Amino acid sequence: MLAFVAVVCGLMLLVWSADRFVNGAASTAHYFGMPPLLIGMVVVGFGTSAPEMVVSALAASQGNPGIALGNAYGSNIANIALILGVTTLISPVTVHSQVLRKELPILTAVTVLAAWQVWDGSISRLDAITLLVVFAGLMSWAIWQGLQKQADALGENIAQQLEVRTMTLRQALFWLVLGLVLLIISSRILVWGAVEIARGFGVSDLIIGLTIVAVGTSLPELASSIIAARKGEHDIAVGNVIGSNLFNTLAVVGIAGTIHPLEVGQEVFYRDIAIMGTLTVWLFIIGYQSSGPGRINRLEGTSLLLCFIGYTAYLIHSAFG
């Protein structure tokens, strides 16, 4: 019971502290003259993925690779199947041609890289460093592209939304520091509770990471995507999913693997990576061919949501069946 309470309270504190951290970081960056584009792409990008990064880093350092990997790959599956599924039920999502030409192919290539790395049953430090190098290259390229054009709708829009919440510099620094501290504390609580639940029920920490932890750390993206969909800001909703998946696959796994090499069971490749890759390709196909180019309707969103429910049910059945 204490472990369940720890997971619930840890998730609630994690989501709240991540929101405080993002607002404090964005406001601080604004005060120091960082362009809105960089605030949207770098500060907000890192901030919304902070729960996954901190949880996986702590899990890896404590010798729980299943939670570290399950959190990253499970969040990717939840982002496409759960978040886009729920979002399209609220409002059909338009996928712009730039996303189809550039972002989705990059995400597909990164997913192939992830599959290749776990093929041999482990993610070494060299593998992890490779992921971080690729991540740094993609971020540098994206920032350079944005600065060249001097217009990035996603980055500008997110930054402007955050700047509406006016803060003094002292308040911004306070929430930046407090949010980061609470992120670490809540992650420790969450990881401890997840490990205890796994031991109590006799299931692997990978299953806990793929389900409870993955969905919990994806809550910030779910909330922001729902709000964006209700406002008709489809770029933000789709951008959240693609950006978060890139962060998870490259930065989250890269940081965790650098801290401690990760042993990977064969089920991760044949089950979780396969599902993640299939959903990524499916998203690509839906955006191109279904119900007109660049549009995901409610029926297709329902199919994504049913896929997530079926995947989660299979995980539970395999754990307790």
Which domain range does residue 103 map to? 2-320
Give pLDDT tens digits for 56-71: 898 888 888 888 899 9
Task: Report the pLDDT value the prediction gives residue 293, as an integer from 0 to 100.
Answer: 52
Contact 48, 240 (CB under 8 A): yes
DSSP at 110: H
> Quick check: 164 pLDDT over 50?
no
Give pLDDT tens digits for 135-151: 999 888 877 776 665 44
> Quick check: 34 pLDDT over 70?
no
Give pLDDT tens digits for 259-294: 999 888 888 889 999 999 999 988 877 766 644 456
Task: Report the pLDDT value the prediction gives residue 151, as an integer from 0 to 100.
Answer: 47
CATH number assigned to the domain comprising residue 182: 1.20.1420.30
**Mean pLDDT across 58-86:** 90
> Quick check: 314 pLDDT over 90?
yes
Cβ-based neighbour number of residue 225 at 10 Å:
28
Task: Report the pLDDT value the prediction gives residue 313, as an integer from 0 to 100.
Answer: 93
Give pLDDT tens digits for 168-177: 888 888 988 8
Q: How many residues does the chain have?
A: 321
Flag the least confident range among 9-23, 85-99, 221-235, 302-316.
221-235
> Quick check: 230 pLDDT over 50?
yes
The total domain count for the chain is: 1
Instruction: Name every residue whose Cβ is closer than 8 Å to that of residue 51 and which is 6 or more positions away in sequence.
Output: 14, 15, 18, 183, 187, 216, 217, 220
Pairing of strands 295-296, 93-94: antiparallel
Give the side-chain half-sphere CA count within 13 A for 5.
Answer: 2
**What's the pTM?**
0.81
pLDDT confidence tier of residue 49, bands split at 50, 70 and 90: confident
Give pLDDT tens digits for 176-218: 888 888 888 888 888 888 888 887 888 888 898 898 888 888 8
